[in-house]
Chain A
Amino acid sequence: MQLWLIPAFPLLGFLLNGIFGRRASKAFVNAVAVGAVLASFMWTLKTLGALWPLDEAHLERYFTWIQAGDVRIGFDLAVDRLSAVMLLVVTGVGLLIHIYSIGYMAHEGGYYRFFAYLNLFMFFMLTLVLAANFLLLFVGWEGVGLCSYLLIGFWFLKSSATNAANKAFIVNRVGDFGFSLGIYLIYTHFRSLDFGEVFDAVSRLPVEAGVGTLTAIGLLLLVGATGKSAQIPLYVWLPDAMEGPTPVSALIHAATMVTAGVYMVARCSVVYLHAPLAMEAVALIGLATAFFAATIGLTQFDIKKVFAYSTISQLGYMFLGAGVGAFGAAIYHLWTHAFFKALLFLGAGSVIHALGEQDLRRMGGLRAKTPITFWTLLAAALSISGVPLTAGFFSKDEILLAAYHHAPWMYWAGTLTAGLTAFYVFRAIFLAFFGAPRGWSYAHESPPVMTVPLVLLALLSLAGGFAPVSRWLAPMFPAGEGRHETLPVAISVAAGLAGIVVALLFYVARPGLADRVAARLGALYRLVYNKYFVDEIYQAAILRPVITGSENMLWRTVDVAWIDGAVNGIATRARAAGDVLRRIQSGDLRSYAAWVLLGSLALLLAIGLAGGGR
């Protein structure tokens, strides 16, 4: 079925724009970049249509990529139901965001560079999704990290942007270190990196009672996932990544790349099902991240930061779902989240485009000026809040229900988080679109090239939940998903609605109440407002010791004292020896002759002492 064409189109787009884009017109750049993703999307649809209903995984082996000793790793692509969902999200949402970018980036320098990077990202992301072995997945995994770095630092003259790009890249190195260790462990244990072979072998093993190899593999892969998907403790890079252009935040840091960790955990579901401890760790990390990120989101004033913490929180939900065994629900949430979170970011981008401002405190009253942005953002907000029949409702409640069957306290924590989510999203909406304008005079609605993707995403955010993703995926994940119950669903919906009502009370009905509550909470508010000082704690606990240690130990001791000392010491000794020996060179021929004679005699003596010539 020529699966390789799906990532090949964006790669071609990247090469064309990367090589010729600088001199080409914007129309050419647009046509290449959007055309490449459109071709990729169309080919995905054609492939999936031909393979429908995709009961079996479809594997295509192209060539041997690495052959060394008994290691053989092929360039193999595969598509099954799980990757089909990912393909549709990546190419579909990616296409809409590419179109949106035409409008958003219209007045920016480096236009061709932006689209070249965006196409390169699509190539790596599609490679990641289609990969049929761990190493190829890792290639895509690193490639999207590279593109994330390039695009966060897109405005590379701004030092905050380059710092954020470095932070994202370096924090991800920590996660990728764990991930690569996990891959090594898989190889040493199963002598293969092929998904099919490894998972077959795992499924024949017994479920581990304590800590064993599978648990170690699961935890190491989880370390990788926490880096890429911005989970505790490696989530710190994602809020800073908002320095990048907003379409990048929507595509890479909301809809697709950051969900790679969830995809990987779901892909390795067999491993996790055989390692209950690792699986519990996934659930706990997901739940903790969902809750803490949501609380931080309550207090932020930068509209993109609010949505960034929201992304972290929603990714936490997905991990919670995977950790309690509802892999299908986790991917379902990934699917719906891609729509409403991309929409939230694109809507925020539209607001920023209208105002040139991203601080919620200086917005207000935008409803009349930017009606399309308002209504589409409202659709996304309803969806993320889990209002019944919107997309977010179905997927979130499926996760919460699974958590309820797994451990009731996880359900309650998740439900509380759902309430917080509804509150902070509507807080942002109300602050931006309601009330009186606070410090802006001119605003305009975005051009159709931006609003049409918004409207399409709004429709998907409202109706995308009717695609029965988790039921379709059920055959892939052996664990049964709990039976349906009405009461937990009703409670979580009520929590969401309560969040909306409280936001309405705080920011529309009784403006000023929020400030009074914040003042009342005092220290707690400041703690949350400063993001629990996590960046500062990392600075003090990890960065400071590393830097001081590097300076004192590695730089001053090892490098300067030992290595330089050894090199300079040898040179000094050689020089001193030379100073002595140069006295022999007197220019006096007879003394040279005397040396020759002495040398010959010494040689003869030595030969004689050694027992003669023979």
Chain B
Amino acid sequence: MTAAGVPLSWYLILAALLFTLGAAGFLLRRNIITMFMCVELMLNAVNLTFVALAYHLRQVDGLVLAFFVMVVAAAEAAVGLAIILTVFRNRASVEIDEVQALRD
């Protein structure tokens, strides 16, 4: 019942795969920029489910939420990149394991 005959479950499975990839990358990679991209991946996976479900249920709510997520993601990217830049300037490194000064 979806566009071009692609069933809803395919969208959801794809979104789940993307999300899992994002989460796994976030947990396993050490480069902050890569981790950052993984966060974007997870956000977009969620966006995909929103949009797919909105289309499926013929409701506009999911589309609105997707726009919100995009706005937040844009803001997050701006702030996040600025932080990463500052970390790199101070430490000459973007390895996440070296940034743990708040431990104690």
Contact = CB atoms under 8 A, between A and B. Distances in A.
A227 B28 CA distance: 85
B6 interface: no
Interface in A587-609: 587-590, 593-594, 597
Contact of A594 (B27, B97, B100, B103): B27
Interface in B44-101: 96-97, 99-101
Contacts of B99: 589
A586 interface: yes
A596 to B, nearest CB: 10
Nearest to B23: A597
A301 B10 CA distance: 113
A586 B103 CA distance: 5
Contact of A587 (B26, B27, B102): B102
Contacts of A588: 96-97, 100, 103
Interface string A576-593: 000000000111111001
B103 A590 contact: no
A594 B23 CA distance: 9
A586 B102 CA distance: 8
Contacts of A589: 96, 99-100
Contacts of A590: 26-28, 30, 96-97
A606 B26 CA distance: 24
Nearest to A600: B23
Nearest to B97: A588
B100 A587 contact: yes
Contacts of B101: 587
B77 to A, nearest CB: 18
A591 to B, nearest CB: 9
A593 B100 CA distance: 14
A585 B30 CA distance: 18
Contacts of A594: 27
B85 to A, nearest CB: 17
A593 B30 CA distance: 13
B28 to A, nearest CB: 8
A593 B102 contact: no
A587 B96 contact: no
Contacts of B97: 588, 590
B100 A586 contact: yes
A587 B103 contact: yes
Contacts of A587: 100-104
B27 A597 contact: yes
B103 A593 contact: no
Nearest to B96: A589
A321 to B, nearest CB: 85
Contacts of A597: 23, 27
Contacts of A586: 100, 103
Contacts of B102: 587
Contact of A585 (B27, B96, B103): B103
Contacts of B96: 588-590
Contacts of B27: 590, 593-594, 597
Nearest to A585: B103
A197 B29 CA distance: 92
The CB with the most chain B CB atoms within 10 A, among A586, A588, A590, A594, is that of: A590
A304 B47 CA distance: 100
A590 B23 CA distance: 10
Contacts of A585: 103
Contacts of B104: 587
Nearest to A582: B104
A588 B104 CA distance: 11
A587 to B, nearest CB: 3
Nearest to A589: B96
A589 B27 CA distance: 9
Given A588-B100, A590-B26, A594-B27, 18 more contacts: A586-B100, A586-B103, A587-B100, A587-B103, A587-B104, A588-B96, A588-B103, A589-B96, A589-B99, A589-B100, A590-B28, A590-B30, A590-B96, A590-B97, A593-B26, A593-B27, A597-B23, A597-B27
Interface of B: 23, 26-28, 30, 96-97, 99-104
13 contacts: A585-B103, A586-B103, A587-B104, A588-B96, A588-B97, A588-B103, A589-B96, A589-B99, A590-B26, A590-B30, A590-B96, A593-B26, A593-B27
Interface of A: 585-590, 593-594, 597
Q: Which 6 A-B pairs have the closest CB atoms?
A: A587-B103, A587-B100, A589-B96, A587-B102, A588-B100, A590-B27
